[in-house]
Every structure is written in C-alpha cells, then in structure tokens.
Amino acid sequence: LLYCEMDDAQRELYNRFLQESRQKFSWIKSGSAGRFELLSSLLRMRQVCCDPALVEGSGNIRSAKMDLLKELLLETIDSGHKVLLFSQFTSLLAIVRSWLDSEGILYEYLDGSTKDRMERVDSFNQHPEIPLFLLSLKAGGLGLNLTSADTVILYDPWWNPAAEAQAADRTHRIGQTRNVNIIKLLVKDSVEEKVLELQRRKADLFNDLVEASAESAASMSLEDFEFLLRD
C-alpha cells in the first residue's frame, strides 16, 4: 500500500461531498431519500480521491494521488520495469495518457471499446521499449496474458480480493520468470480507507460500490453506509 494525503483545496472539495453524503444518509434514515442517491455522492468522493478533475466544476485542484503516480511511474520505468496500471475510470486513464504523451513515454491502452485487444497485448509483451500498459478494470481483468510485466499498480483499488488477484494474475501466466510487485494507491483519511476496511469483512461490497445500481444499494446495510461516512 502506498498512501498520499490531500492538500487543503482537495480536502475542502472532498469534505463538500462528504457532507452531502451525510445529509443524504440522514434522509435515508428518515425515509425521505433512496440509497442510490447516496451511492452517487459516494462515487464523487471516490473520484475526488482519484483526481478532482473527474468531478465537473472542480476547477484546477491538484491531485495528491496523481502526483504520487507520476513520481512512481517515472521511478519504476527508469529502473527498467514494465508496468500494468489499472483504473475503473477511463476518464482518469485519459488524464494519465495526456501526461504520458507530454513526457514522451510510450504505452499501450485498453478499455471496453478497444477492438484489437490481442494486438495491444502482443505489442506490449514483445516491445521492451513500451514500459507501460493502461487498462480499465472491466476490460483488463480477464483473458489477457501480460507476463512481460513485473509491476501492477491499482490506482483506485476495487477492494475485492478476488478482483485484485485477477488483475495481478495477468502477469502470472505461464512464462513469468520474475517476481511481480503489486502496489495499491490509497488516499489517507478518506472513504478509500473505509471501504478497504469494510471489504475485509464483506467480500461482496465491491460490486455494490462499483455498480452503483438500485439493486446493489439495497444490499448494503445502513451500518455499512454509516461506517463509510464516519470520521
């Protein structure tokens, strides 16, 4: 686990959505609002943790985690490692791609809309000069053999041990000869820490928070929501 801390501006934006979530939670308890609205606010909290730019109207607020990622990538790539970077937000990956382009760092990219999946995989595996593969959670979790990588970065951990193992397994297929380093990036004193703790107790919570559907919201207890919003 690698932790980072929000600066005052990012924390202020985060706290705005935290208070909004707490307000919606109180409405749920009183029966005047549904759980789906609360999940939407929780999603905003998680997006602020990833990068405030994911939230419309947030302005030019620095992202502590993005700063950490850039530093980590430069150091890891400079050391000769090949890296898989996972995020469930394609909009976040777009921000990373823009920075990589400005730095002249070569990479491959794959999300749900990618047609030539195997060509992208083969290109990454066969070209040592391409040190990085950006993958969306849903598109990159299954059926890909990425044994040329020795480092996995989970930008916004999805807190499901099975899903995380599945992502790491992309590098553990037949042919891997090196140890694989798996790194999770987390924002200190945030909902990310709370969900990580809840996930240790409730293996199905991941799907509830990622899918954000009415059905999944119904499966979360009020105690789960309360824990996520606690100081």
Render pLDDT for 45-89 as a digit per residue (tens, 0 to 9).
Answer: 999 999 999 998 888 999 999 999 999 999 999 999 999 999 989
Could you tell me which residues are beta bridge partners of residue 4? 187
What is the per-residue pLDDT for 191? 94
Residue type, position 218, single letter? A
Number of alpha carbons in the 13 Å side-chain half-sphere of residue 19: 5
Give the residue extent of every domain in the chain. Answer: 2-61+189-228, 64-187
What is the per-residue pLDDT for 177? 65
Q: Which two tokens stand for residue 8?
A: 């005052």
- Residues 225-230: contacts with CB within 8 Å, 24+ apart? 225/25, 225/28, 225/35, 225/38, 226/25, 227/194, 227/197, 227/198, 228/21, 228/42, 228/191, 228/194, 228/195, 228/198, 229/18, 229/21, 229/22, 229/25, 229/191, 230/194
Residue whose tokens read 């150091």: 75
- Superfamily (CATH H level) for 64-187: P-loop containing nucleotide triphosphate hydrolases (3.40.50.300)
Q: Determine the Cα–Cα distance for residues 173 and 84; give it in Å rounded to an integer.
A: 14
Residue type, position 126, single letter? Q
Render pLDDT for 120-176 as a digit per residue (tens, 0 to 9).
Answer: 999 999 999 999 999 997 776 666 888 899 999 999 977 566 666 677 677 766 456
| CB-CB contact of 226 with 214 (8 Å) | no
Rg (C-alpha) for the chain, rounded Å, is: 18
